[in-house]
Every structure is written in C-alpha cells, then in structure tokens.
Chains A and B, each alone.
Chain A
Amino acid sequence: MKKTFSHLFFLFAIICIQCSCSLDGTSWDIDGKGPVLQTQFDLSQAIPDPHLQYAADSAIMLNFYDTVYTVDVDSIAYIPDSSYLFNITWTLPNINLQPGVSLPAFPIKIRFGIHERIKLNAARIKSGRLKIKIKSVIPRKINIQYNIPNATYYGIPFSLSETIPAASAGDTIVYSTHLNLKDYYVDLRGPNLNEYNVLYIYLTPTLNENEPALPLSTGQFLFSTENTLEKVNPFYAQGFVVPATDSINSNIIDLGTSRYIRSGILDIDSIRMGITLVNTMGVDMRLKIDKFRSINDATGQQIELTHPIINSFINLQTAQNTYNTTNPVLPYNYTLWLTPQNSNLDQLIENIPDRFRINSIAQINPMGDATADNNFFYTTVPPRFIFHIQAPVKFSVYQVQFIDTLDNPLFEEIEIEKFLSGEFRIIAENKFPLALAANIYTLDDAGLLTDTLFTQSLISPAPVNAANRVTFPLISNLLAPFNEAKIKNITSARRIVIKARFNSVPNLQLLQMYSDYYLKLKILADVKYRITL
C-alpha cells in the first residue's frame, strides 16, 4: 500500500509541475526595426518668435529684449506691522452720564510707513488689515462708534458701530474685530492736512438707552483700545520720497555660456546692444554707470565697456500718473545703445561672456523737494532695466566647442540593458551652413573615458552658393552601433559627456541665417531587444 501511495505522489507531482505555471521571467529576443523619433530645429525654436524679425528675403534679425533688473519699490513703501495702545480716561469734571448721551469723540493716531524713505500723504492699499481690540471696565452697556473718516472705500468712509456689554465689578469686557484694508484709500495728512504717515481713528462711546445713568469722575479709567496694522502693503503711494542714493551692483544677464562653450572663435556682424532705463516713479532719478563688464568665467577674462556714458549721470525724468487702473503710469524711458562704432562692443561679445555685470549708483529725487509732496509710485509697476540685443543673425563660428557633463541620465525608464545589440542611426538633414561633429562619451567613477556612442558623428554643412546662401540641405548619417559590452559601459557609467564642435563653412566668413534653414533629425533603430514577462 505504501508503494502504491508513493507512486501516486509521484504522478501527482508530475501533474503539479505541469500546472505550476508562471510567466514571470519568461523571455525571448526580438529583432525590432523602425523609427524612434524625429525632430526639427530652426532658430525660432532657440529664440522665441517675439525676439526674431524677418527681412523680405527671409534673413533673420535678432531683436532680443528682456527685463533684467527691477528696482525694489516695496522696500520704499514698506509699512511694518505695528500696534498702538491707548487708554481712555475721563479727564473732565465729574458728571452723571444719562442714557442715550454720548461722550466726546476720542481721537486715536496710528502711523503708516517709515518716514526715513517716504513721507506718505496718501496710499491705496493692496492688502493687509487693521485689527481692533477694545477692553472695557464700564459697568454699563456701551454703544461704540468707531470712525476713520480718512480711510475710504471707493468714497465711503470707514464706520463701525458695536455694543459692548456691561462689565461686572472687577471684570473686563474684551471686544475685537478686524478691518480688511484691501482697496481702501487712506489720506495720511491728518485732520489739518499738515502731517504725513498718520491716520486718525475717532472712537465715540454712548451710554445705552436702556441702561441707568453712569456716574463718571475725573481720572476714571473707562477702556483701552489696541489698533494693530498687519501685513499692510500699498498698491499706490503718494507723498514725498526722501532723497536717497542706492547702489546697483548686479548681473543684468547671466548666460552661463562658458560652462558649455569651451573654445573657438565667434564673430557676429553688426550687433548693437541696448539698455533701457524705465522710470515708472513719479520722482526724478539719476543713474551713473561706473562699470559695465562682459565676464567669461571659464577664462576669467573681463572686458569693460568703454563709452562716454561711463561715469556720467543719466537723468531720468519723473513718470506721469495717468490714474488709469489698467495702465496707471506713463513712464520715462532712456535707452543707451552700444554699437561697435560708439564702444568696444565687439570685444564684449567676442569674449563669449557668461554674464554682463553693472556697477552703478541710482539717485532718487536728487533735487530734494522740487516736486513738493506729489511724488508717487505704484508697487505693481516698478522701475526696471531692459536689455536689448539687435543684430542680423549673421556670424561665423570656427572650432567652437560645446561641452556638457551630466550625471548619467541614460534610459533609466526604458531599461537599456534589454537592448542587446544593433544600431541606432540618426539621419540628419541639414540646411544650415554649419558643420557639427557631436558625440557622447561615458565616464567611469574615476572620470575615465569608458566608451563612445557614435562611430560616425559628423553632420556635414549644407553648401552655400555664390551669394553665401544655402539652397538645398545635405543629409548625413550618424551611427551608434552597440553590443552587450557597450550597453554595460553605458549602464555602469557614472557620468556622460556631450561634446559638439561647430564650424561655419566657408570658414571665418560671416554667414547670414535665413528662416528656411533647419536641421531635421530622425532616429532609427535596428536592434535586438529582449522581452521579459
């Protein structure tokens, strides 16, 4: 019987083995062939369209502009959070206050802004609130009238009425609320229009009509108020901007060029570079540029601008207040154009700068009180520098080398180890008169070269005709064959290096770029790939 059972188990085992199906790990190799991706490059992709202009013959002109520096006006109009505590005491002779009778209004003064930078006489508030707290010890129910006649919401002065319950003996009644100041216009000149940065609150207590008479004696404490300005930011400020001088030492454009372009000769035709200073404040300003430098971080080379404007004051007249909500300021613009004729601009550009740096001083309201108390500014429209470059896209490059080193990003998501062997081919249809030799290299942990991706890596330049114009593209093939060893090198690489060398052809001759120039790339695969379930 035991033998029978053992045979049975053996047979069951066979059945169980046949039924123990698991597709996990089932794998096989396929030969795949087909296009992977295609893309087309032209100059409008590298430079957004608003910065390009096209001539009638489709020649491309560069008209680049961008705001590169903004003056921080929020710091001028800064209103710090602050609390103002007032104790209200009966200072008149003893009286017996009858129901329904009001006491005289108590004025409370709070301060807006820092008068060292600006003496405000009015402001419109963008955000913030006034927190109000009243602590009463009056043993009667009191009606409180809280008025701020100089804070108006589209013409309506702020007013608040509240009833505060009677305080029992030895107790204090606390009442608190807050006022959202958004869009309030505040006149900060005080009741006699001869102050600045102040706002008056008037608090009027009235004995409730249903309460018995309230005896008040001289020196009797009635209640206290605490008024707190919280996170108040003006949208518009008007007053007197205190004369000040600020230094502006800043990179006004940061390209990081030398991180990628390591060597070569770049020649650009007829370039001009501009800096527009936009004064949006209702106050005169002056700017003196001490230095303007082109800095190449890789070489350490710094070329200083030579131009008559250096160390001279540029007067920026006051902007005009339009009082138009959508376009509130008519700014004053001053543009300084640098050309190869009026400056050493060529040297600045051929330095292949990583950045341009400006060292300057700005004087605000240099004429003191010449504009009385009508200085103004909108915090949403700050003064700024706009940087321009205008040039025909006409250049020559010779042996300009682009290098970038990256942590190995290759193909984590597509499981590159499943590519066993084969070839990736890039068909490059080039209509630029530029030759490009590009390759990707893998580096090990020690930074040593372990492999090269492309065996053929040259994109040939499209030929130009007698007018230096390309009329038809040239097709090149780039090949990246691989096998298991190469895949291993790629997957184990710590870093990769991308190198590309550009030459315009004919060499050292300025070549105009046209809008019909393009580079089409199509990547094709012919690979053995392992499918694993």
Chain B
Amino acid sequence: MTEIKHLIWTLPLCLLLSNGRFSNYFLHKYPEKRRNVSLSSQAEIGSENIHTLFLNKFFTGNYLDESLKNSVSNRLSDYNRFGADWTSELRYENMNDSLLGKNWGYLAAFKNRIYAEGQFNRYAFDLPFYGNAPFAGNEISTSGTTGFMMMYQQFQLGFVKTWQRPKSQHVFAFGLSYINGNQLYEARIDSNRILTSNDAESVFVQLDGYIYRNDPAYNTFFANNGSGLGLDLQYQFSQNNHILSVQALDIGFISWERPGEYYRIDSSLHYNGIIIDNLFTTDGSEFTQFIDSLNQNYVKKEITNPGFRMLPAILHISYAYQFLDGRILLQTGVDARYSAHYFPSMYVRGIFYPHQRIMIAGSIGYGGFGTLNTGLDLGIDFGKGYTLSIHTRNLEGLVPNTFATGLSAGFKLSRYF
C-alpha cells in the first residue's frame, strides 16, 4: 500500500485543477507531506505572424523601421490570430484531509486571469503601420478584425479523490469557482472599406463595428462588473510507469451585468477635407469641430450590459512515461481552448533530473496562439519543502528574432509541509 501511495505522489503530476502544462516537479521528494502552498504566475503572448523581434521593439519603446514592418507584413495572411493569457494563482492543497474521509483531499485557490484574443485582417496591420498612401487607388478593408480582453478573479474550492488498485491509481478532482468579472473590452469590425483616391482629393471610409468597454467608474482591480461560475474537472490514471491525465478547466461563464459603454459605428464618410467656411473669420476651431462632428454624427454611444460570455475553457490531455526510476520522463500532450483563435497546441517534453534537487525539462510544440515553439523548464528544490520552478514555452523567443511568434514565461514558488 505504501508503494502505491509512493507511486501516486512521486510522479510529476499535472497540477491539479490548474494549468496543465505546469507540473509538480519535486513532489516525489516529499512523499509524506500532504500539504502544499504555492504562488505562481505565467504569461504568454503569441500570434501566428507577428514575430518576437517586432513585439520586443513595439513593447519596449523602440523605433519600428521599414524592414522590421516588412518582415511582419510579408508573412501576414488574410486573417491572423493573436492572443495573450496571464494567470496568477495563490493556492493551498491538502491531499489527505481526515475530515473528508479516506483518500480525499481538497484545495482552495485564488486566481487572477487576464485573457485576450482575436484576429486581424492584414490591412489592420498595414494601414496603421504604413499609412494609407501605399494603398491609394485600391480599396482595402479591415473587415473581420476582432478581439477582446477580459480580466477576472476566481475563488476556487476543489476536492480530490483517489482510488488505489494494486497496480494502478485513479485520481479524480473537481472544483467550483465563483468568478468576479472584473474588466471586459471588446472590439469588432464587421465590415469596412477604405479607398484613398490616387490624387489625394478624397478618402472614402465605410465602417460597421463597435468598441465596448466597462463603465470607467468601475475599472479598478476587483471591481465587480459581472459574476459567473466556473467548473474544473480532472482525471488522472497511472499504472506502473504510465500516467494519463485529462483536464477540463474554466468551464463556465461570466454574466457581465453592469452596463458599460458601446461605441458603435455603422456609417460611411466621403472625406474631402475639413471645410473652412470663411477664411476671414476662422479661428481654427473647425478642426476640433470636425472631430466633434465625427463623434456626434457617426459614433453612437449606448450604455448597456454585454450579457453572457463563456470563459476561455481549456481542455488538456497528456500522457507521460518515466524511465530510470523517474530520473527521465517523456511527456506528450495536446491542449485546446474554447476559442476561435487558439489552435490546439501539441507538444512533447522530456523531463530530466540531473541532480536530486535540480530538474531540467525541454519541450517542442506547435499551435496555441503562435506556431512552432520550444520550451524550457528549470526546477530547484531548496530543501525543507521549498521549491521553485521557472519555465517558458517559447525559448525561441527569448532572444528577439524574426521567426519566433510567441513569448511566454512563468514561475512557481511552493512549499510542501
């Protein structure tokens, strides 16, 4: 029986009810310690075609030269995915709680998640970064460009049950979360046409789309703009050196109840220049009046609530096999999301313990918000139950370059006791 228990807790389990690509790498060091408290944070940003050199230059206050813009523009397709996910979590686990019964455990967690995704038409990149002059005489469109960003806080309570057999083990975990819908931004261009005349005498713009934002008065961290529920499920089967795990996380919704601001445009404008009625009496206010008139005549503001939005649920399936008494593990898996813009991400990973207190893992994958990616995980056991691991799924993006299209990083600091 002891051996089986040892088997359960010494394999590098996927984190229970948490991001499946992150593991408990040093659980085997503390077989008798059933409680754990941890702080973790992981962020990723990715796109099919916007490479890391561009992201690095853009987000660090640099000049974006023509060759840099060209290196992105030349690889753009008609529609291009992008996304970002930043989850931070504080959690407590107790895997052998006597109150709940034999082989029951529980966990409690507080999470904050910022999630954004969308897609953009190639001209949604080219127009702001090249201007309209290169397209004079040709009608261009940014139709289909869409994106949203939501931030929510999750208060989770989960339970874990294990069933032990002579040669195998089954673990089932489920968790329920109350979700505080904190911030939501959405933008969508349903239809758009832009035509600049060759002689520069006119610019025609047709636009049907909207931008939504929360009530700015309720935009601080923790502000409640809506509420929701989330369900996390996980099943893990292990036998001998094989481990199979299936996770379904963040199955749920947020009802965004507090009215926010929709700015809708469904108009066309044939712009021939700002009209100065009288050169003798003008004070130059026509320019600001023109901007005001655009707001008044073309932008329709509505105060309403956006209603239900599904959470970006995650489905993660992984299989792992250990060699050499667990000094080497090979893992493969796929994760998918409830998202039109997240391509199912497949990966293989090798986990190696060169020293009993050090873990190094390397991975290669394809999909997600980006494309091909390589990962590196490093873990250190400081002793007395303290461990730290850091990781990236985009090693190729650590040094900004023009072929990698994702950036990610994360850490987990935990203590077993």
- Write the residues of chain A forming the contact surface with B, with a CB cutoff of 8 angstroms: 4, 8, 11-12, 14-15, 18-39, 41, 45-46, 425, 427, 522-526, 529, 531, 533
Contacts and interface: CB of A to CB of B under 8 A. Distances in A.
B129 A522 contact: no
Nearest 8 CB-CB pairings of A with B: A30-B131, A35-B273, A25-B61, A31-B133, A33-B133, A39-B276, A28-B64, A21-B59
Contacts, number: 121
Contacts of B271: 34-35
B134 interface: yes
B200 interface: yes
Nearest to B394: A18
Given A33-B131, A523-B273, A19 B60 contact: no
B286 A37 contact: yes
B203 interface: yes
Contact of A28 (B63, B378, B390): B63
| Residue among A18, A46, A522 with max Cβ neighbours from chain B (10 Å) | A18
B273 A38 contact: yes
Contact of A524 (B130, B200, B278): B200
Given A8-B380, A20-B60, A425-B200, A36 B273 contact: yes
A33 B407 CA distance: 35
B1 interface: no
Contacts of B65: 28
A39 B57 CA distance: 42
A43 B371 CA distance: 66
A34 B203 contact: yes
B63 A32 contact: no
Contacts of B202: 34-35
Interface string B235-271: 0000000000000000000000000000000000001
B409 interface: yes
Given A25-B62, A28-B63, A45-B278, A522 B201 contact: yes
B206 interface: no
Given A425-B200, A526-B200, A26 B61 contact: yes
Given A12-B411, A34-B200, A524-B201, 7 more contacts: A26-B63, A28-B129, A33-B133, A34-B202, A41-B279, A427-B201, A526-B200
Interface in B307-339: none
Interface string B378-417: 1010000000101010000010000000010101000000
Contacts of B136: 33
A39 B277 contact: yes
21 contacts: A8-B380, A11-B378, A12-B390, A14-B398, A15-B392, A18-B407, A21-B59, A23-B58, A26-B57, A28-B65, A30-B130, A31-B130, A31-B131, A32-B131, A33-B131, A35-B203, A36-B273, A38-B273, A39-B277, A425-B200, A526-B133
Contact of B273 (A18, A21, A31, A37): A37
A35 B201 contact: yes
Contacts of A46: 280
B69 interface: yes
Contacts of A24: 61
Given A12-B390, A38-B272, A18 B409 contact: yes
A219 B203 CA distance: 98
B132 interface: yes
A349 to B, nearest CB: 22
A27 B64 contact: yes
A293 to B, nearest CB: 28
A45 B274 contact: no
A425 B202 CA distance: 13
B196 interface: yes
B134 to A, nearest CB: 6
B275 interface: yes
